[in-house]
Amino acid sequence: MHIQKRQGTYRITVSCGRDESGKQILCTTTFAPPKGLTEKQEKKALYEFADKYERKIKGGASANYSKMTFKSFCLDYYYKNHLETLKPKTANGYRAVIESRLIPYFGNMRIKNITPLDVRGWMASLERKDGKDKDLSRNSTGSWFRTLSAILGKAYEWEIIDENPCKRVKSPTNTQPDVEALQLSEVQTICDKLPEYDDIRARTFIMLILNTGIREAEAAGLEWRDIDFDDGVISIRRTSQYIPGRGMVESTPKSKTSVRDIPISQDMVNELVKYKIWQRKVIKDLGSVYEGNPGEEARLFTSWNGKPIFDSTLRKWLTKFLKWCDLPRVTVHGLRHTFASLLIANGTDARTTAALLGHSSPALVMNVYANPQDEAKARAVDSLSGLIKRRKKR
């Protein structure tokens, strides 16, 4: 927005995006301040008027959007007025899809002219960009379609287009992804092997995920002040993760229900006490080389010099340990899944499981995480076999 004073009035210019040639579209208005105002009052009235005019333009009430391109809408409106309100990782995911999948196809189209046929044409044109021969999954194309629909939905909400063309196109049906989870016997192997593992950082991290089911970014954001050693409780209050283009980003947890307190066992408390003593010694030995916070606000898991830890480092810790144990490869999310499936197999109700995981929907938890353990399936079959045998004897 640009404001220019002109002989007792002010000319206000606001950008309305760009046309298909990349030329900026400008909207202007004039503000004539009421007489009798002090300089301070006039300035306040001017900025209130200018702000109201800009919001009116951004909302689509009076701007000429007929020549605005899809690319211009994304860069000048969607990014600034919507993506900035989202969690960093979510916003980065949207941005990646927009710039790699949507702008190359729709970028120079006038957003008002995009039709359901254009959307279908885009879906038919989708292909892999990673060199692999396997077809794109419905989950991928479905996710990209929903991103496009969300963008055009905002354009409709802001009165830039008359309708969302995606509403007239059938969305690709998602398939429920198979999330890997360890069997109880494999978890027991991990518990047996962990005390022998020489990397105390990896040992503590893996034990923590198995005992709490917290997310990778939640573990990276943990500080010592979040641990109540007396009552055996861990408080999830922040996340920390690497976002391409932005670096290390600290944020609040994923949702309101993700802000939670999780009880931990005495064994977990004991392990954390040992780990804290070890970390304090490392900090003391490093001296001025240590760049993190040495107090209770120190992160549990950091790089060697105290800086925030990369997500990839946590994943490497787990991969290296599983290889050492000769166990199947599983992700950090797989350990979270294992925690949840073991809770459910042990009779924990859906609402409690959801609360521990930081989910708002118990039904979703049961749908996603309730994968029967092999041992549970074997017990079920044995139970049925015993029932059949008893009926035969009658």
Residue 84 is part of a domain; what is its CATH number?
A: 1.10.150.130
Question: Are 98 and 48 in a shared domain?
Answer: no
Question: Are 272 and 234 in a shared domain?
Answer: yes
How high is the pLDDT of residue 291?
A: 93
Could you give the 3-state DSSP secondary structure of residue 127? coil
Q: Is the dihedral of CA 176, 180, 185, 190 positive or negative?
A: negative
Q: How many CB atoms lie within 10 A of CB 370?
A: 14
Question: Are 41 and 161 in a shared domain?
Answer: no
Contacts of 266 (CB under 8 A, 6+ apart): 232
Count of structural domains within the chain:
3
What's the whole-number mean pLDDT along residues 344-350? 88
How high is the pLDDT of residue 369?
A: 76
- Domain extent, residue 119, equals 70-168
Cβ-count burial of 285 within 10 angstroms (0-12 exposed, 13-18 middle, 19+ buried)? Answer: exposed
- Residue 32: phi and psi, rounded to 5, are -110, 110
Predicted confidence (pLDDT) at residue 61 exceeds the cutoff of 50: no
In a domain? residue 324: yes
Question: Are 227 and 127 in a shared domain?
Answer: no
Angle, CA of 118, 73 and 127, to the nearest 5°: 40
Give the CATH number, domain containing residue 327. 1.10.443.10
Query: Alpha-carbon distance 95 to 100, whole Å?
Result: 8
Query: Alpha-carbon distance 6 to 155, whole Å?
Result: 34
In a domain? residue 174: no
Query: Alpha-carbon distance 19 to 8, whole Å?
Result: 33
Q: In 245-370, which residue ranges form alpha helices assigned H by DSSP?
A: 266-286, 311-325, 332-345, 350-357, 362-369
Q: Is the dihedral of CA 108, 111, 112, 117 positive or negative?
A: positive
pLDDT category, 80, cuts 50, 70, 90?
A: confident
How high is the pLDDT of residue 256?
A: 92
Long-range CB contact pairs, 294-298, < 8 A, 24+: 295/224, 296/223, 296/224, 296/225, 297/223, 297/224, 297/225, 298/223, 298/224
DSSP E strand stretches across the chain? 2-6, 9-18, 24-31, 227-228, 233-236, 239-243, 247-251, 260-263
Residue 376 to residues 73, 229, 368, 385, Cα–Cα distance (Å): 53, 34, 17, 14
Q: How many CB atoms lie within 10 A of CB 352?
A: 13
Out of 117, 134, 168, a domain closes at 168
Element spanning 188, H or E: helix 184-193
What's the whole-number mean pLDDT along residues 251-276? 95
Question: Are 44 and 84 in a shared domain?
Answer: no
Short-list 339, 331, 321, CA closest to 194: 321
In a domain? residue 30: yes
pLDDT category, 218, cuts 50, 70, 90?
A: very high
In a domain? residue 388: no
Cβ-count burial of 38 within 10 angstroms (0-12 exposed, 13-18 middle, 19+ buried)? Answer: exposed
Question: Are 207 and 247 in a shared domain?
Answer: yes
pLDDT category, 310, cuts 50, 70, 90?
A: very high
Question: Are 82 and 197 in a shared domain?
Answer: no
Question: Are 248 and 337 in a shared domain?
Answer: yes
Cβ-count burial of 247 within 10 angstroms (0-12 exposed, 13-18 middle, 19+ buried)? Answer: exposed
In a domain? residue 390: no
Entry pTM: 0.70
Question: Are 199 and 338 in a shared domain?
Answer: yes
Mean pLDDT lowest among 14-23, 34-43, 196-205: 14-23
In a domain? residue 178: no
Question: Are 158 and 257 in a shared domain?
Answer: no
Query: Alpha-carbon distance 12 to 31, whole Å?
Result: 7
Count helices and strands in the chain by DSSP H and E runs: 16, 8
How high is the pLDDT of residue 25?
A: 76
- Residue 79: phi and psi, rounded to 5, are -60, -50
Which amino acid is present at 49?
A: F
Predicted confidence (pLDDT) at residue 157 exceeds the cutoff of 80: yes
In a domain? residue 323: yes
| Percentage of residues of the chain with pLDDT beyond 70 | 87
In a domain? residue 10: yes
Cβ-count burial of 4 within 10 angstroms (0-12 exposed, 13-18 middle, 19+ buried)? Answer: exposed
Question: Are 194 and 45 in a shared domain?
Answer: no
Question: Are 230 and 363 in a shared domain?
Answer: yes
